[in-house]
Structure 1
Amino acid sequence: MRHASPRDTVPDNTAPPAEVIAIRPGRPLEGTVIVDGSKNAALPLLSAAAVVGAPVRVTNIPDSTDVHTMLGLLVGAGFDVVHIPGEAGSMVITPSRRHRIEAELLTAASTIRASYYLAPALLGRFGRARLPWPGGCRIGDRGMEQHFRVYEAFGDRCSTHRYGYEIQRSRAEQGTVSVALPFRSRGATIVAILRAVVSRQELRLSTPNLSPETLGVVGALESIGWVKAVERDLLVLTPPTETATVHDLTWTVPGDKVEAGTLACAVAATRGTARIEGVRAGDLAPALEHLRRTGVVVTEHVNGIEIDARHIARDELPIHASASLSPSGLDADFEPSLLAFALGIPGHHAFADTINPGRHANLIPQLRCMGAEIEEVSPTQCRFAGPQRLTGAGVETTDIRTGAALLIAGLTAQGITTLGGLEQLRRGHADLPGKLRALGADICEVTP
């Protein structure tokens, strides 16, 4: 096995790929494609591996830049990240004897939202976590209030400054910790879980986020003896009664549900048929239900889904999609791709995303550049009638999900669409345009 260095885990920018691609409409998408591991699931799982105090082999790690950044942060925080030869996307995370946090890597933490998952690991190793405010996509404020509520419930001391925040670990840790979240924050839920692991305390969390990403971390902890009790409004985690050393621990990052949902919308928008493998169909059930309502035939398999949109009905089939944090609700990351798909469907459609209040402000102006007529009811709600005829234009990837939606729109627009800002798209996907090309999409690189 080869030890990673910060240079290994941060992408090499000496020969960057093209930052602009051209998209032309063509034949319906068809074929088979395999999704990568989920960025949203990998980031908390890597952080969980850093708090268990034993070597953890993590497999199916996606090759996206946000994940590279997190791996670099772990190295800088005193953890060994070891690449497994011959196993792409597999690494072993284990504590090392290095105790110095490299300042340049903590500066890099400001580039991703999930840097807050690193705080529990820092508390476990150093008793203190000092981090910049979360960054990432510009889709609204990155509030940390619920995170601070979690740490204060554990007795930690939180302070803030202009550029970030600091947490001092409590010296009196014992008994059960109860936390009540005002809403189902995924970040705060996972932070509460990781903080409980650091101090080996029982956690009773009210109004938890029960997304697949959260339950993936809970399932990983079960493999080392933690006991869970999950209800809709209460999550209880109890530490193992024994302190035996854990050996041969392997966790696998699940397939990317959002990438699968994006590909499904692209296939449906072009009236194609394709098989999307490497994902659990149940993880994207709310998105698939919206596709089914428009006449798309969705067949679920053990390790994937099949999309057949060749015979979508021509009747009015309105789509009303609202992002939700409820256990059975629509993940906000599905909403932009569904919106792009709905532009080509007959009916009066309505979309809302109050979770990421800046996302519509990113996406809708770009779609209007392509001729879309969309009424903004509020900064987080919009409505429009379909089908609409889009025209190719020069548009920009301002955040990960906006880029995915613009790819879908470009596949159905008349003429050529040029999409820039691909560094944002690569934060969440190693090569989403390449997967669409594998299904027959006419996408090529353009020299800026």
Structure 2
Amino acid sequence: MSTLTEDAARFAKFSGLEADTITFNGGQPLNGRVLVRGAKNFVTKAMVAALLGDSPSVLRNVPDISDVRIVAGLLGVHGVTISHNVETGEVHLDPTKVKSAHMAEINAHAGSSRIPILFCGPLLHQLGEAFIPDLGGCRIGDRPIDFHLSALRSFGAVVDKLPEGIHLTAPNGLLGAKITLDYPSVGATEQVLLTAVRAQGLTELSNAAIEPEIMDLINVLQKMGAIISVDADRVIRIEGVPNLHGYDHKSIFDRNEAASWAAAALATQGDIFVEGARQPEMLTFLNVFRKAGGKFEIHDDGIRFFHPGESLSPVVIETDVHPGFMTDWQQPLVVALTQATGVSIVHETVYEQRFGFTEALVKMGATIELHRECLGGQKCRFGQQNFVHSAVISGPSKLTGADIEVPDLRGGFSHLIAALMAKGHSRVSNVGIIARGYENFLAKLRTLGAEFEVEN
């Protein structure tokens, strides 16, 4: 598996960053307008879904981020012809000449990405075999692939573990299955959907994830000819069909990026209009943002987020699966909560190791205590397991510049927010990781008035 520094440099290269360390001059509010395009957590999965079709697909509103480029590379080594118009955000995918790829090619393009695991179902349908290299991803907790392999076995796949990775075959084809998730995992739900749509017979998935990105993936699959129903009790039923065709689809906006810019406006006492953001998918975030004292205005083409001009209020947050408060929202918001008057509590119930980013905030002057106990209204699966998964933030705290290192995608953007609000200069390294999910983030920061220098 690649190291953190190697990952950051690789993502920086994918995104055209000149260097991987940036010095920020903080203390200035961010003001202006930014465009948020398609969701990272959807577009990469929709690109994989194109493998299932027997004709070309068109995906619109796609951001130019490193995760998209990585998936494009993986599709390319499997014979898919791809063109990406960065200006319009339109991607064309032609899977009509799909082929097997060598493990070395997959490894070269995958790096630390976990996306190859989702190639398995489509490739088993198209080619009868698939390869998976060692998987990485952000270091925010345990993300085992055991369920993915178990689910694929339920469909009839044969799994062989090799020194260089995993080889899967489907000698008798794939058959529908009845599957129940212990936890409504997004990745597990995606795996079942991408495998079940062309498996023979009926698949029933209980305790499924129902995030907006999942629903948009279902929209894409239905456009391709799939038969999928979603019940109110988190049960998804898929009737397998023998063939699917291409799709033409506009991606849902990236609500994680939208929330990050909202938190940046609040933390820096700024005013940011997030073009492309929509109220329905942001409902839970908007409620918490308002309770913290943030102001917002809903418009047809986006949402304006701005600081109220007075003291912020502490809040109590518990992350949860949709429709709860997203785990990806808490990290940037924690930075803003360091400026609230009083004590805020954040109980993380999705990933057990997501508070590593707070070490840098404490170094900059924030008052944050981490706890192993469930400091929320309900116990969670991490309780009594010795995981540090609750945070107590006392404020307001004056942050000052420091040398900090980006730990992961969302934590990394949170570090940028901290560097921008802190007095003085902050030297932030490993910023390339942020390019995994934030399109043109340095250009957007410049537009908003951020002051920084990129190391040569």
- Fold-level similarity (TM above 0.5): yes
Listed as ranges, the matches of 1:368-383 within 5 Å are 368-378=362-372, 379-383=388-392
Question: What secondary structure does 1:198 align onto?
Answer: coil
Q: 1:435 is aligned with what amino acid?
A: K
Q: Which runs of 4+ in 1 moved over 6 A?
A: none
Q: Secondary structure at the match of 1:199?
A: coil
**Structure 2: distance between partners of 1:154 and 1:194:** 12
Moved more, 380-389 or 296-305: 296-305
Structure 2 counterpart of 1:274: 272
Q: 1:55-78 deviations in whole A, cap 9, x for unaligned? A: 101122221112111110011112
- Contact persistence 1:203–1:236 (CA under 8 A): yes
When the two chains are superposed, the root-mean-square deviation of aligned CA atoms in Å is 2.5
- Alpha-carbon contact 2:12-2:20 (below 8 Å) kept: no
Cα displacement string for residues 193-240 of structure 1 (whole angstroms, at most 9, x for unaligned residues): 000123254321100001111111001122233333222321123356
Q: Which amino acid aligns with 1:322?
A: E
Q: What residue number does 2:149 align with?
A: 148
Q: What residue ranges of structure 2 are gaps of 5+ in the alignment?
A: 1-10, 373-387
SS in 1 for 2:286: helix
CA spacing shift, 1:191–1:423, aligned 2, 3 Å:
same
Distance in 2, matches of 1:159 and 1:173, equals 16
1:322 aligned to 297, 318, 321, which one?
Answer: 318
Q: Which residue number in structure 1 is paired with residue 375 of structure 2?
A: none
In the other structure, the counterpart of 1:117 is 118
Partner of residue 426 from structure 1, selected from 435, 450, 455: 435
| Structure 1: segments with no counterpart, 5+ residues | 1-9
Match of 2:425 in 1: 416
Cα separation, partners in 2 of 1:95 and 1:270, compared to 1, 3 Å: same
Q: Does 1:310 align with 2:313?
A: no
Judge conservation of contact 2:204–2:238 (CA < 8 Å) in 1. Answer: yes
Q: SS of the counterpart of 2:143?
A: coil
Q: Provide closer, same or farther for how the CA distance between residues 123 and 250 of structure 1 changes in structure 2, counting only shifts above 3 A.
A: same
Picking from 281, 288, 292, the partner of 1:290 is 288
Equivalence for 2:74: 73
CA distance in 2, matches of 1:15, 1:307: 29
**C-alpha separation between the residues in 2 aligned to 1:16 and 1:265?**
24
Q: By how many angstroms is 1:351 displaced?
A: 1.6
Contact 2:157/2:174, CA 8 A, preserved across alignment: no
Q: Could you tell me whether the CA contact under 8 Å between 2:139 and 2:407 is conserved in 1?
A: yes
| Counterpart position of 1:7 | none
Q: TM-score, normalised by structure 1?
A: 0.89
Aligned residue pairs: how many?
430
- Does structure 1 conserve the Cα–Cα contact (< 8 Å) formed by 2:14 and 2:69? no
Distance 1:14 1:335, change over 3 A: closer
CA separation of 1:55/1:332 partners in 2, compared to 1, >3 Å: closer, same or farther? same
Q: Does 1:446 pair with 2:455?
A: yes
Alpha-carbon distance, 1:390 to partner = 0.9
Equivalent position amino acid for 2:251 in 1: V
Q: How does 1:15-26 map to 2 (within 5 A)?
A: 16-26=17-27
CA distance 1:61–1:280, change in 2 (3 Å): same
1:329–1:306: structure 2 CA closer, same or farther, 3 Å change rule?
same
Deviations 1:106-141 (CA, angstroms, capped at 9, x unpaired)? 113242022212112221222122212321212222
Provide the residue aligned with 1:389 in structure 2.
398
- When structure 1 is superposed on structure 2, of 207-216 and 111-120 the one drifting more is 111-120
Equivalent AA in structure 2 for residue 17 of structure 1: E
1:343 corresponds in structure 2 to 338
Alignment of 1:161-240 (within 5 A): 161=162, 163-169=164-170, 171-174=172-175, 176-199=176-199, 201-230=201-230, 231-239=232-240
CA contact (8 A) 2:155 2:199 kept: no
**Relative to 1, partners in 2 of residues 1:384 and 1:246: Cα closer, same or farther, differing over 3 Å?**
closer
Equivalent pair of 2:345/2:393 in contact (CA under 8 Å): yes
Q: TM (normalized to structure 2)?
A: 0.87
Distance 2:331 2:48 in 1: 28
Partner SS, residue 286 of structure 1: helix
Match of 2:385 in 1: none
CA contact (8 A) 1:106 1:132 kept: yes
CA–CA separation in structure 1 for the residues paired with 2:71 and 2:56: 17
* Map of 2:32 onto structure 1: 31
In 2, the alpha carbon distance for the partners of 1:313 and 1:365 equals 25
Distance 1:267 1:87, change over 3 A: closer
